[in-house]
Chains A and B, each alone.
Chain A
């Protein structure tokens, strides 16, 4: 079964892969598979497993999308070195379909995690904090904003 892809005009190889078909599917599949893996390894309740998945998702996506800056190769001579991956995708254009999808995923995970743990307290607080940080980091107004100079260039 073939998928067609329009050739992109993004020259940034670090972010151009996100415009090809299949990314959203694999993202959701990886999240679901990791829930199954957590459930089988820890033997905890499904709700606890979703909370763990939500947390790891928060840690991983925050680190790679909003903390790491630049690109993992040197071909582009460092022109993106001051930008996080989130600021690089689609050349900084805001509110595209990909960005909306990536904003919705943590919220959906939060809803699943809090529903399956019955909104009980210690988990609820941490889950809410995580989703709040992630969604605020993805706002268009936060483009290139560094609060208190954290993670700014030197």
Chain B
């Protein structure tokens, strides 16, 4: 259920309508002006077919300075953002050599492994010297080192499955695995807010794709019943295989998947469950083992567990964990395993070391401390934002916090105002999110100290007042909220600890 203030909905539609009208008017005049300007591109096909670059040219480029800001340091809690300027109204951006130290609220640095770590980095450098930066070969040729075998065992143990397979790129893990898991004659039922890599893999598989309402197990059951009863399209034969694709934490909403209910529904109708834990592995759960641990689901009930190492482990790549037979099958069919270069050895070592830290096998309690801190930080930040009156979506315990903006003009306003006060946030606009639901997405790290979070809250509160996004304050208990907020302001000057 999505709740939108009615006036924001109307004004957002109007704003986007205005942008589209202006964009089309400018395109019209551009076409007229270009008619007189001959080009020497006879015989070449156009790069973009139809209007597919309209959004990029006429909407995205207007606020390009809010996206893709180059950074010149490791994405730690404080990092250096490079200043850019534009001479042609943001159509092209030029870098300068000036940098500013900003608070990082955008990187997926859940456990703080993004910058140098006292346990991981020396071991990674040693591996770099021993093995070299790249294996220069796919796994089946010469790209399987002892490190890769160790990594796969480590990941399988960590996730709680008999075996695992590791790939060099997280997106490619989904895009290359789904087509070999299911093909024509199969049915894929995917959550409506799944990531582009899952959609890409599903489309590449050739199976029939159906979508169920986001995180609604009752609708999933309805879709399953309807499609099992009807069978394949036209022939009405029974489906060869049914796979349900869900994510652990949805990256744009910060919501946890309703995994126990979905697994129960899938068991009832004998469908396979494919869980993408890109954002939840290592970040949630008592020992960091993901949503299965957090929600109490037995890992044997989830048939294929997929995840990436980019978020909590400070590395790159993705993994698929499942039964031994599944992994054996993927080893000889998955194109990412057969043809793509295997994961870089230093990256593999970073994953192994960070898993050791998380499990406490390095001899210190840092892993448990990090996990406790990220939970505390996320819950603290979320509750403070809600108290201030922001529309925050997502569940407690999830490190991804989305502040709703709705109007498109508030996107660059929020981004630029926060940057002026040295806080860097990531904005999400159409088409990554639905048209009405533009948001600022904050990713909390275990390395954020209380002072950092309080500074961020202060800046966000000021900016929120300036651009008017404290929608929850406009309710009937506005006075009460304001009193509560004033009390918070007084208390937050006192550092806790």
Closest to A2 in B: B3
Interface of B is mostly: mixed
Size class of the contact patch on chain A = 35 or more
Choose, from B52-60, B102-110, B320-328, the stretch at the interface: B52-60
- Report the bound CA distance from A14 to B52 in whole Å: 11
Is B2 an interface residue, CB under 8 A from the partner?
yes
Asked if B13 and A4 make an inter-chain contact with CB atoms under 8 angstroms apart, the answer reads no
Flag if A72 contacts B52 (CB, 8 Å).
yes
Q: A8-B192, A26-B10, A78-B52 are in contact. Are A73 and B2 (CB under 8 A)?
A: no
A3 to B20, CA, bound (A): 25
Closest-CB distance, A64 to chain B (whole angstroms):
8
Given that A6-B213, A9-B212, A16-B434 are known contacts, is A30 also in contact with B192, CB under 8 Å in the complex?
A: no
Q: Does A25 contact B (CB under 8 A)?
A: yes
Could you tell me if B10 and A25 are in contact, using CB atoms closer than 8 angstroms?
A: yes
Q: In the complex the two chains form, is B52's CB within 8 Å of A7's CB?
A: no
A29 within 8 A of B: yes
Against B, the Cβ 8 Å flags (1 = close, 0 = not) of A76-91 are 0111010000000000
Task: Kindly list chain A residues whose C-beta atoms are within 8 Å of the C-beta of B193.
Answer: 7
Q: Are B9 and A21 in touch, CB under 8 angstroms?
A: yes
B43 at the binding interface (Cβ < 8 Å): no
Knowing A4-B3, A21-B9, A22-B9, the reply to whether A13 touches B430 (Cβ < 8 A) is: yes
**Which residues of B lie under 8 Å from residue A11 when comparing CB positions?**
192, 199, 211
In the bound complex, what is the Cα–Cα distance between A108 and B48 (angstroms)? 38
* Contact pick for A1, options B7, B52, B203, CB 8 Å: B7
* B-contacting residues, A53-93, CB 8 Å: 68-75, 77-79, 81
Contact B13 A74 (CB under 8 A): no
Residues of A within 8 A of B430 (CB): 13, 17
CA of A94 to CA of B218, assembled, Å: 25
**Which of A2, A16, A72 is the one whose CB lies under 8 Å from B6?**
A2
Query: Mask for B1-18, Cβ within 8 A of A = 1, else 0?
Result: 111111101100110110
Say yes or no for A20: interface residue by CB 8 A criterion: yes
A4-B3, A7-B214, A70-B52 given as contacts; is B14 within 8 A of A26 (CB)? yes
Q: A29-B10, A69-B50, A72-B51 are in contact. Are A6 and B436 (CB under 8 A)?
A: no
Residues of B within 8 A of A75 (CB): 196, 431
Interchain CB contact under 8 A, A2 and B49: no
Which of B4, B14, B214 makes the CB contact (< 8 A) with A2?
Answer: B4
A68 and B2 contact, CB distance less than 8 A:
no
- Verify if A104 is at the interface (C-beta below 8 Å from B): no
A5 at the interface (CB under 8 A from B): yes
Interface contact B7-A30, CB-CB below 8 Å: no
A5 to B406, CA, bound (A): 14
- CB-CB under 8 A from A74, the residues of chain B are 48, 52-53, 56
Given contacts A20-B435, A20-B436, A73-B431, is CB(A68)–CB(B51) below 8 Å? yes
A72 to chain B, nearest CB (A): 4
- Is B212 in contact with A3, judged by CB distance below 8 angstroms? no
Over the window 39-52 of chain B, the binary record of Cβ atoms lying under 8 Å from chain A Cβ atoms (1 yes, 0 no) is 00000000011111
Give the B interface residue count (CB, 8 A).
40
A95 at the interface (CB under 8 A from B): no
B2 and A4 contacting across the interface, CB-CB below 8 Å: yes
Given A2-B3, A21-B9, A75-B196, A13:B50 Cβ within 8 A: no
A23 at the interface (CB under 8 A from B): yes
Q: A residues within 8 A CB of B3?
A: 2-5
Q: B4's contact among A3, A9, A71, A81, by CB below 8 Å, is which?
A: A3
Shortest CB–CB separation between residue A53 and chain B, in angstroms?
15
The distance in angstroms between the C-alpha atoms of A142 and B431, with both chains bound, is 29
Q: How far is the CA of A81 from the CA of B52 in the complex (A)?
A: 9
Question: Which B435-481 residues have a C-beta within 8 angstroms of A?
Answer: 435-436
Complex alpha-carbon distance, A21 and B4, angstroms: 9
A71 to B431, CA, bound (A): 11
Residues of chain B from 215 to 249 with CB closer than 8 A to chain A in the complex: 216, 219
* Residues on the A chain within 8 Å of B435, using CB: 13, 16-17, 20
CB distance from A81 to the nearest CB of B (A): 6
Q: Which residues of A contact B48 (CB under 8 A)?
A: 74
Q: A3-B3, A3-B6, A20-B436 are in contact. Are A73 and B211 (CB under 8 A)?
A: no
A22 touches B214 (CB 8 A): no
With A5-B1, A70-B51, A81-B50 already in contact, the answer to whether A20 and B6 are too (CB < 8 A) is no
Report yes or no: A2 in contact with B5, Cβ–Cβ below 8 A.
yes
B408 CB → nearest A CB, Å: 12
A-B contact pairs, 28 of them (CB 8 A): A2-B5, A4-B1, A5-B3, A6-B1, A7-B193, A10-B192, A11-B199, A13-B434, A17-B435, A17-B436, A20-B4, A20-B435, A22-B10, A23-B13, A26-B10, A26-B13, A26-B14, A26-B17, A30-B14, A30-B17, A72-B20, A73-B52, A73-B56, A74-B53, A75-B196, A78-B52, A79-B203, A81-B52
Other CB < 8 Å A-B pairs besides A68-B51, A81-B49, 20 of them?
A: A2-B3, A3-B3, A7-B216, A10-B192, A11-B211, A17-B430, A17-B434, A17-B436, A20-B4, A20-B434, A23-B13, A26-B10, A29-B10, A68-B50, A70-B51, A70-B52, A72-B52, A73-B56, A74-B56, A77-B203
Which residues of B are interface residues toward A (Cβ below 8 A)? Answer: 1-7, 9-10, 13-14, 16-17, 20, 48-56, 192-193, 196, 199-200, 203, 211-214, 216, 219, 430-431, 434-436
Which 4 A-B pairs have CB atoms at the shortest separation, nearest pair first? A17-B435, A22-B9, A72-B54, A13-B431
